[in-house]
């Protein structure tokens, strides 16, 4: 892919550096009002919801048909009704997760000079390195978080200077983690295709060389946490996102039936959420889920979000095997992955609209 025609991006300072100055007032660019208005997360926050589905991946793959069938049914209804679930027995070892946890801290503690070498550069559409994504203007409100973004797969799209600049042990762990998550993603997508009665070859062909990006997120504590937001409400652009919460600090919330529901971390579990690309691919059957991150007044939070999109040169749109007009018309048009992402990165995060409105066919007119 090439991204030359991307709009310039604004590179914002690190929140981590900001709080080292022991601030008592929150700088204006971080203070939110509109985000929390009548849905203030302190007045409308649900307690952790224990009904969030949990899928046992070993069970899903088990030769024992009763267990496999029940996990398969659970997966299908989680995708239809929640767009969100946690997975256990997923094949990512606990030692690897422990290593990632300590190495993430080292990454965000890198000395300023080391950090500078692997910062985002203005104009880089994929905004890789340290920084915030989706800051498209100087006067835009900013999220209370620092992120390190990288493309992990396909390997030919990696930025060598980022891999060279990160702590060595982190690089090694991310390598193992990246291939483990690609496997898990292919397993889950394969089962979803089966549940949707999609041609499984179509999924295999679209994702066999998939684009995998990672966001390593650090949410510093904020003394006035009710004034800021860690990550603005959004749905993810890719197909499946897999989130690893590296400590016990709550923060991730999903919007379910109009309410924000806090996701309680299950130790060792991974969070899977459906992104806009899967809503498009499934022609609306598996809707993407809106989510956001709130910040804790005293405790920091770390997470790694891994996003899986189709192969970089693919065209996205509803699966051919799901479309059969006039009874089953396409709800979304087709577009190259490159143009889809150009649209995504050119907008600030704003709930669940950016990608789906760009792709939706209005009034049955495929050309609109």
Q: Considering beta carbons, is residue 211 or 319 the nearer one to ligand AKG?
A: 211
Binding flag, residue 277, ligand AKG (CB under 6 A): no
β pairing state of 291-293 and 252-256? antiparallel
Binding flag, residue 153, ligand AKG (CB under 6 A): no
- Say which entry of ligand AKG, Fe ion, none residue 56 contacts (CB below 5 to 8 A, set by partner kind): none
Binding flag, residue 217, ligand AKG (CB under 6 A): yes
Name, in order, each residue with C-beta under 8 angstroms of 206's C-beta and a sequence gap of 6 or more. Answer: 281, 310, 311, 314
Q: Give the burial string for 318-341 (b: 16+ CB within 10 Å, else e).
A: bbeebeeeeeeebbbbebebbebb
- Say which entry of Fe ion, ligand AKG, none residue 254 contacts (CB below 5 to 8 A, set by partner kind): none
Residue 249 exposure: Cα atoms within 13 Å on the Cβ side: 20
Choose, by CB under 6 A, the member of 142, 191, 291, 333 that binds ligand AKG: 291
Binding flag, residue 303, ligand AKG (CB under 6 A): yes
In angstroms, give the least distance from the CB of 67 to Fe ion.
31
Is 310 exposed, middle or buried, given 0-12, 13-18 or 19+ CB atoms closer than 10 A?
A: buried
Q: Considering beta carbons, is residue 143 or 236 the nearer one to Fe ion?
A: 236
- Say which entry of Fe ion, ligand AKG, none residue 293 contacts (CB below 5 to 8 A, set by partner kind): ligand AKG
Q: Considering beta carbons, is residue 100 or 252 the nearer one to ligand AKG?
A: 252
Choose, by CB under 6 A, the member of 252, 294, 295, 316 that binds ligand AKG: 252
Choose, by CB under 6 A, the member of 305, 314, 331, 359 that binds ligand AKG: 305
Residues constituting the chain: 368
Binding flag, residue 236, Fe ion (CB under 5 A): yes
- Say which entry of Fe ion, ligand AKG, none residue 243 contacts (CB below 5 to 8 A, set by partner kind): ligand AKG
Count H helices and E strands in the chain, helices first: 11, 14
Angle at 49 between CA 44 and CA 51, to 5 degrees: 140
168-195 helix and 65-81 helix, angle to the nearest 10 degrees? 90
Is 248 exposed, middle or buried, given 0-12, 13-18 or 19+ CB atoms closer than 10 A?
A: exposed
Considering only residues 221-250, where is the footprint of ligand AKG by CB under 6 A?
Answer: 231, 236, 243, 245
Using CB under 5 A, which of the segments 13-21, 67-75, 220-228, 233-241 binds Fe ion?
Answer: 233-241
Distance of CA 293 to the CA centre of its chain: 12
SS3 for 152-184 is: EECHHHCCHHHHHHCCHHHHHHHHHHHHHHHHH
Total chain residues near ligand AKG (CB under 6 A): 11
Contacts with Fe ion by CB under 5 A lie at: 236
Contacts with ligand AKG by CB under 6 A lie at: 215, 217, 231, 236, 243, 245, 252, 291, 293, 303, 305
């Amino acid at each position: 892919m090439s991204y030359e025609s991307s709009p310039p991006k604004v590179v914002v300072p690190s929140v981590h550096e900001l709080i080292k100055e022991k601030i008592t007032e929150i700088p204006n660019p971080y203070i939110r009002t509109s985000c929390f208005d009548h849905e203030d997360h302190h007045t409308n926050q649900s307690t952790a919801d224990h009904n969030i589905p949990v899928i046992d991946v070993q069970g899903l793959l088990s030769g024992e048909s009763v267990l496999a069938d029940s996990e398969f049914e659970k997966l299908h209804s989680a995708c239809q009704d929640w767009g969100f679930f946690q997975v256990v027995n997923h094949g990512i070892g606990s030692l690897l997760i422990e290593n990632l946890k300590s190495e993430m801290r080292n990454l965000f503690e890198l000395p300023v000079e080391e950090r500078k070498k692997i910062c985002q550069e203005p104009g880089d559409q994929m905004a890789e390195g340290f920084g915030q994504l989706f800051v498209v203007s100087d006067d835009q409100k900013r999220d209370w978080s620092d992120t390190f973004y990288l493309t992990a797969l396909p390997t030919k799209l990696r930025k060598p200077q980022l891999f060279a600049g990160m702590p060595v042990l982190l690089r090694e762990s991310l390598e193992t983690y990246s291939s483990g998550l690609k496997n898990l993603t292919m397993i889950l997508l394969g089962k979803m295709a089966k549940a949707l009665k999609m041609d499984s070859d179509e999924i295999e062909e679209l994702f066999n060389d998939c684009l995998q990006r990672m966001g390593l997120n650090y949410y510093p504590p904020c003394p006035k946490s009710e004034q800021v937001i860690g990550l603005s409400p959004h749905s993810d652009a890719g197909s499946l996102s897999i989130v690893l919460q590296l400590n016990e600090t709550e923060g991730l919330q999903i919007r379910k039936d109009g309410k924000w529901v806090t996701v309680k971390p299950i130790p060792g579990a991974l969070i899977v959420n459906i992104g806009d690309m899967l809503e498009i691919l499934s022609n609306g059957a598996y809707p993407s889920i809106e989510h956001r991150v709130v910040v804790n007044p005293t405790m920091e939070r770390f997470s790694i979000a891994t996003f899986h999109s189709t192969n970089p040169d693919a065209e996205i749109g509803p699966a051919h095997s799901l479309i059969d007009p006039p009874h089953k018309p396409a709800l979304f048009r087709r577009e190259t992955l490159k143009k889809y992402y150009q649209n995504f990165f050119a907008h600030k995060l704003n709930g669940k609209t950016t990608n789906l409105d760009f792709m939706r066919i209005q009034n049955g007119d495929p050309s609109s």
